[in-house]
A and B are shown apart, each in its own frame.
Chain A
């Protein structure tokens, strides 16, 4: 099993969700996060006082998938969330040792 963690633009969330649903992904965890990468922040001005806003709002998706489907899913996220501008985000893939469904106690790929 793989954990796919994607940091994407908030306005791309719905598109990514639709694409992944079509690929058979049945669940994901979404968190509103803030951070910075190459995009850095932006500035805001209030009555001529300028502030640098260092942390930009993003959305973090966490999806656990089978080893076989991980490639298709990361490709789909990349293609859907892409605008081509700095700040589109990143996708990380890591290994998962075990998954357990709390309701039934079953384990392994069947949980996903």
Chain B
């Protein structure tokens, strides 16, 4: 930018270059318009997962007096993360960290160097950073489900700004930004560890530090509208095609297979949750089939670019069943109040997916193939998951404790409901 101190000389050069160029030279060097179109679309789909998909999914599950608070949290997280990302987040996650590259990225301050001509792979860097931003938005938004109905809004905003900075950006860098986990060969196509194990672990730790909702589990806290929840889950399903097939970063066969296996796994997980619930609890439920679908979406996420349809069916069946147990009997036995089962679905589903990726990516099961066989890939997958669990759990605990001692995490009285207590508004005036 500094090169052209005199604007007139800049215009002169532009005019000269434009007049001298054939029309086709308008296409940027190395940019593929098909890939670009697909990644533009995927960015929209992934943002659509958070607002309104996840917002509605969560809004339906809380009590009517808290319906606005969870939607507000998802919406505000979208805004806060966007600004943090623009100022320094993209640099931390995807910048070149130089000597520290294995651990953290740097640069791209205020996206000053991401101009219209900047290219990343086969797409404009503007599109690439926008696509990655939508992942940085949904990951913290997932955590909302764990602390729903009792966390102070100011504490929530502070927690999220700190959490994406200290947890999400580094972990994303380790796996996708050229850091050490990706370099070791950990397979995480669209975010089983980076997004789901990461958010799920943070959710578990935060809900424990925060404490249970007043009256839990003795007081019934039924969902206010499973209609909203099912609409939200359906939007998540559709939006997830951008999440997984978009993570191919190209509009080709890998994206196609990622989309297909995402769809297959989701359907299978929804059926498996429904079936286990039917056998165990007596009836197939709307919330069960919807939650099963989300579990299947989560579990196929790390695997989506690597496995085939057979892997998708097994991953779907496994995640629906295992997450049913985690969100039901395990949560009940351990007594923590993860209000909307973020750990049971995203943490556990992400772990199931991360591990099974190490098996079903093998050519034996129709996957793309593994460099070193199933055994060594499984230990790499376990390492990736374990590192994420330990790092996310530890940092979340520290952030939550510091905020609890300083500004306080909880509302003083959760009986009134957060909509009136924190926002002076009501979701429904019926």
A51 adjacent to B281 (CB under 8 Å): no
- B287 on interface, CB distance cutoff 8 Å: yes
B332 adjacent to A49 (CB under 8 Å): yes
Which of B94-102, B108-116, B215-223 makes up part of the contact surface? Answer: B215-223
B281 adjacent to A45 (CB under 8 Å): yes
- A104 on interface, CB distance cutoff 8 Å: no
Residues of B within 8 A of A48 (CB): 277, 280-281, 324, 327-329, 332
Residues of A within 8 A of B221 (CB): 51
Q: How far is the CB of A10 from chain B (nearest CB, A)?
A: 16
- A103 on interface, CB distance cutoff 8 Å: no
Complex: A46 Cα to B283 Cα, angstroms: 11
Complex: A45 Cα to B324 Cα, angstroms: 13
Contact with B along A75-100 (1 / 0, CB 8 A): 00000000000000000000000000
B291 adjacent to A51 (CB under 8 Å): no
- A52 on interface, CB distance cutoff 8 Å: yes
Which partner residue on chain B sits nearest A53 by CB separation? B220
- B285 on interface, CB distance cutoff 8 Å: yes
- A47 on interface, CB distance cutoff 8 Å: yes
Which residues B363-399 have CB closer than 8 A to chain A? Answer: none
Partner pick for A45 among B285, B327, B341, CB 8 A cutoff: B285
- B105 on interface, CB distance cutoff 8 Å: no
B328 adjacent to A47 (CB under 8 Å): yes
Complex: A29 Cα to B258 Cα, angstroms: 59
Which partner residue on chain B sits nearest A48 by CB separation? B328
Complex: A25 Cα to B59 Cα, angstroms: 44
Q: How far is the CB of B64 from chain A (nearest CB, A)?
A: 15
- A11 on interface, CB distance cutoff 8 Å: no
Residues of B within 8 A of A44 (CB): 220, 222
Total number of B residues with any Cβ neighbor in A under 8 Å: 19
- B239 on interface, CB distance cutoff 8 Å: no
Q: Give the tally of cross-chain contacts (CB within 8 A).
A: 32
Chain A interface category by residue count: under 10
Complex: A51 Cα to B223 Cα, angstroms: 11
Which residues A30-73 have CB closer than 8 A to chain B? Answer: 44-49, 51-53
- B124 on interface, CB distance cutoff 8 Å: no
Known: A45-B281, A46-B287. A51 touches B329 (CB 8 A): no
Complex: A52 Cα to B287 Cα, angstroms: 18
A46 adjacent to B223 (CB under 8 Å): yes
A47 adjacent to B291 (CB under 8 Å): yes
Residues of A within 8 A of B285 (CB): 45-46
Complex: A45 Cα to B221 Cα, angstroms: 11
Q: How far is the CB of A29 from chain B (nearest CB, A)?
A: 19
Q: How far is the CB of A43 from chain B (nearest CB, A)?
A: 10
Residues of B within 8 A of A45 (CB): 281, 283, 285
Q: How far is the CB of B134 from chain A (nearest CB, A)?
A: 28
Partner pick for B288 among A47, A51, A52, A53, CB 8 A cutoff: A47
Which partner residue on chain A sits nearest B282 by CB separation? A45
Q: How far is the CB of B230 from chain A (nearest CB, A)?
A: 13
A51 adjacent to B222 (CB under 8 Å): yes
A52 adjacent to B281 (CB under 8 Å): no
B217 adjacent to A49 (CB under 8 Å): yes
B327 adjacent to A47 (CB under 8 Å): yes
User: 23 A-B residue contacts at CB 8 Å?
Assistant: A44-B222, A45-B281, A45-B283, A46-B285, A46-B287, A47-B288, A47-B327, A47-B328, A47-B341, A48-B280, A48-B281, A48-B327, A48-B328, A48-B329, A48-B332, A49-B217, A49-B328, A49-B332, A51-B220, A51-B221, A51-B222, A53-B220, A53-B222
Which 8 pairs across A and B sit closest by C-beta, in order of nearness?
Answer: A48-B328, A51-B220, A47-B327, A46-B287, A45-B281, A51-B222, A47-B328, A48-B281
